[in-house]
Amino acid sequence: MELNRYIDHTNLKPDATCADIQTLCAEAKAYHFASVCVNSVHIAQVAAALAGTDVAPCCVVGFPLGAMEPEAKAFEAARACALGAKEIDMVIDIGAAKAGDFSRVEADIAAVLSAIAGRALLKVILECCLLTDEQKQAACLAAKHAGAGFVKTSTGFSTGGATEHDVALMRAAVGPEMGVKASGGIRTCADALKMIAAGANRIGASAGIAIAAAAEEEKQGGKR
C-alpha cells in the first residue's frame, strides 16, 4: 500500500496565505499525495502550481457549515471547476439531514453534480458528529443515489472528526462502488491506517507530511 496516494494534503484555515498554499503544493508534489485540498479562494493558485503533476487540485464548497442554497453551492463548484479544480468536497445541508428530509439532501448534492458536469470528482461531507447513525446511513444513500464519487466524514471544523465506527458505517452503506474519505483529527500514521482498515480509501489531513514520514520510517525499519 502506498499511503501517500491516500492523502489529501489539506489547509482550510481561514488565514492561510498564498505563501502557505504554495508550500502546501510543493510538499504535495514532493510526496506525491492524492490531492491538495483548499478553500475555493485558493483553487486557481493550486491548479497552476500542480499543473502537469500527479496531484489533483481539490477545493471545498459550502464549507464548513453547508447552510447555503443549492444554487450558491452549485455556483461555487462551477467556478472552482472553471479555475482548474479536479475534485470538489461539498458539505451537505446538515439541517435537512437532521430533519429527515433526505430528498432535500439529495437535491442539494444533485445541484452541485450538475454544475460540475463531469469535470471533477465529487466528495460529499456529512459532518458525522452532528448526525445519528441512521441519518449518516441515509445521507450516504442520498449521495450514492445522486451520483457522487465519495462520502466524507467531517469538515474538521465541528465538534468531532473521523472515527473508525463512522468510516465502517459509511463503507457498509455505500458498498464498494463509492469512495469513503476520513477527515478530521487524523494526525498520525497509526490514525490513518486505522481509518483505511475500517474502509476509507482517502484520508484528509493537514498532517500529511508527518503521516508520510512515519510510514516511510516504518517501511525502512521493516527492511532491516
Q: State CA 61 to chain mean position distance.
A: 10
Cα distances from 61 to residues 69, 81, 85, 100, 199, in angstroms, run: 12, 11, 11, 22, 24
Q: In whole angstroms, give the CA distance from residue 181 to residue 184.
A: 10
Q: Which residues pair with 121 in a beta bridge?
A: 87
The verdict on whether 194 is a catalytic residue reads no
Q: Which of 8, 89, 93, 108 is catalytic?
A: 89
Q: Which of 136, 152, 166, 191 is catalytic?
A: 152
The verdict on whether 89 is a catalytic residue reads yes
The verdict on whether 136 is a catalytic residue reads no
Q: How far apart are the first and last CA of the chain?
A: 19
Q: In whole angstroms, give the CA distance from residue 37 to residue 59.
A: 5
CA nearest to 131, candidates 164, 108, 158: 158
Q: Which of 8, 166, 181, 191 is catalytic?
A: 181
Residues designated as active site: 89, 152, 181
